[in-house]
Amino acid sequence: MTYASANIVNPNQVYSYTVMQRDIESLVTRYPDLVSSESLGVTAYGRQLWAVKLGRGESALFLNGSHHAREWMTSSLLMKMIDSYAQAYDNNETIGGYNVRRLLDEVSIWFVPMVNPDGVTLSQQGTAGLSADVAQMLRQYNGNSSNFNRWKANMQGLDLNRQYPANWKGIKNASSYPWYQNYKGKKPGEAAEVQMMMNFTERIDPEVTISYHSSGEIIFWHFNTINSSLNRDKTIARSLAGLTGYSLVAPEKNPSGGGYKDWFIQEYRRPGFTIEIASYAGEGSVPLKQFNGIWSENKAVGLYSAGQSYSLWLAKQKAQYLQESMDLLAETELYANIGASAGGARILPQKLHVIARKGDWYQVQAAEGLGWIHPSPGKLAVIEQISANASWSNRIPAYQYPDAYSPKVTFIDPQTMAISGRYGTWLRASAPGGDWWIDGRKVTITWPEKAENSIPATDSGLPEEEQPEAAEGTL
């Protein structure tokens, strides 16, 4: 699973919607147990609004970019973030001193790298491929110019970051008709892209959001923020300023509003930030030569913010009393308190009595004593006891516990092996050298003939949506 220095995303180019789609597909293919994607819907000109999930935690952080068309470098920055964080997780490396694997086991970072794909495409490529009528309309919105490099709006001439229902009526310096920038529309949420963003935010329920824009090297962090949130939000803002070197924008008494960050703070009373990358670029896109410096300034922002998201999420969780038996499948740390990151005693694989759960922490009674554990995915499980055989026609890896990122014990040649347990899509294979875990999506299960509900030999025995695709030579 190691792809040392195998970058997928190349940010040193005009980063288009088409390139982004290709890169998202490649990232999902390379890191199937870490990266996933989904379409939030379709724009007026038929482009998918893509969301990418990176990580495996229950808490959520949300990063987005390219609300404004000419600010497409924010898309390449976020895509570079996904690529770099996934590589670091895969290789168990740190970035900027942050433990990437631990953070992404705790948090799922959601990205919408390009909120405005229609506008970005227009800004980069002009009206090529559009009908004469549409091209003429867009030139009118652009002051009768055929140079769309300055374009900020979507292709209806709506400024997406003036479309959110946060003091919408009081937005300042607004155009009164469709234009290349600053037209807030006839009502908030008129743009399909904004509707999709609001619905998606409600669904993933993030603890922290960051909207990337360009340019100016400044950070907005306040929008009519209530007094009880001020210290929390300003502390995070100061840390982001320390990471990036950017300046904090002082709060205004009567802020203009209409932006995603404004709406998020108003609606959720949680920390929301707008980060403006790059030195001031005027009415145009940021020059490519600035990207390396921008990456250096922002490469740890997602990881720092993930840690803040996790802390806020964990603090809100209520204890659930379980009183059940579970299997600890790999060595882990036993802590005296929830949230500890050091000083734990090592406990060995064993059957544990699980007393309670708070967030992703478990209070357990182990042979070594009473305490709390924070197991990574697959380490703590309730295993279904089964009796079957599994066959495979290609050499497959065997793992220490049921997770694609657990240590590989060995590789097993094609054969048939007895199966004694199941956890999700994973199977416990019994071999002379001990019990190993194999990915059930890569094998075919056969059940004893005496079983009442016998499953045909060609069926993997997994739920229908998890059935493996037929492969050449599969038994």
**Amino acid in position 52:** V
Please tell me the pTM assigned to this model.
0.92
Write down how long the chain is: 475
Each residue's pLDDT expressed in tens, for the chain with a length of 475 residues:
444 457 999 999 999 999 999 999 999 999 999 999 999 999 999 999 999 999 999 999 999 999 999 999 999 999 999 999 999 999 999 999 999 999 999 999 999 999 999 999 999 999 999 999 999 999 999 999 999 999 999 999 999 999 999 999 999 999 999 999 999 999 999 999 999 999 999 999 999 999 999 999 999 999 999 999 999 999 999 999 999 999 999 999 889 999 999 999 999 999 999 999 999 999 999 999 999 999 999 999 999 999 999 999 999 999 999 999 999 999 999 999 999 988 889 999 999 999 999 999 999 999 999 999 999 999 999 999 999 999 999 999 999 999 999 999 999 999 999 999 999 999 999 877 789 999 999 999 999 976 444 444 444 445 444 444 433 322 2
